[in-house]
Amino acid sequence: MILILIGPPGAGKGTQAQQLAREFGFRHLSSGDLLRAERASGTDLGQRVAAYMDAGQLVPDDLIIEVILQRIFGDDRGPGVLLDGFPRTLPQARALDDALRRHASSVRRVLDIHVPDDVVLDRLTARRVCPQCDSVYHLTFRPPRVPGLCDRDGTPLIQRPDDQADVVARRLRHYHEMTEPLRDYYRRQGLLLTIDGNQPVDRVTQALRDAVRDLLAPPPASQRPPG
**Residues annotated as part of the active site:** 13, 88, 127, 160, 171
CA–centroid distance for 185 within its chain = 18
* C-alpha dihedral sign at 11, 13, 15, 19: positive
Which helix (H) or strand (E) segment is 194 a member of?
strand 192-196
Binding residue for ligand AP5 (CB under 6 A) from 26, 80, 82, 137? Answer: 137
* Cα distance between residue 143 and residue 127, in whole Å: 9
Task: For the CB of residue 170, give the shortest distance to ligand AP5 in the complex, in Å.
Answer: 9
Between residue 70 and residue 109, which ones bind ligand AP5 under the rule CB under 6 A?
85-86, 88, 92
Per rule CB under 6 A, is residue 141 in the interface with ligand AP5? Answer: yes
Per rule CB under 6 A, is residue 172 in the interface with ligand AP5? Answer: no
Per rule CB under 6 A, is residue 142 in the interface with ligand AP5? Answer: yes
Task: For the CB of residue 26, give the shortest distance to ligand AP5 in the complex, in Å.
Answer: 15
- C-beta atoms surrounding 84 within 10 Å: 25
* Cα distance between residue 20 and residue 63, in whole Å: 27
Total number of residues binding ligand AP5 (CB under 6 A)?
A: 36
* Cα distance between residue 140 and residue 112, in whole Å: 24
* Cα distance between residue 107 and residue 100, in whole Å: 8
The residue (of 80 and 85) whose beta carbon lies closer to ligand AP5 is 85
Task: For the CB of residue 144, give the shortest distance to ligand AP5 in the complex, in Å.
Answer: 10
Which helix (H) or strand (E) segment is 188 a member of?
helix 181-188
The residue (of 105 and 205) whose beta carbon lies closer to ligand AP5 is 205
Cα separations in angstroms, 62 against 29, 94, 129, 135, 141: 18, 12, 28, 28, 36
* Cα distance between residue 139 and residue 6, in whole Å: 24
DSSP code at position 56: T
The residue (of 110 and 224) whose beta carbon lies closer to ligand AP5 is 110
Binding residue for ligand AP5 (CB under 6 A) from 4, 11, 110, 157? Answer: 11
Binding residue for ligand AP5 (CB under 6 A) from 171, 186, 208, 212? Answer: 171
Residues near ligand AP5 (CB under 6 A) are: 7, 9-15, 31-32, 35, 52-53, 56-59, 64, 85-86, 88, 92, 123-124, 127, 136-138, 141-142, 162, 171, 197, 200-201, 204
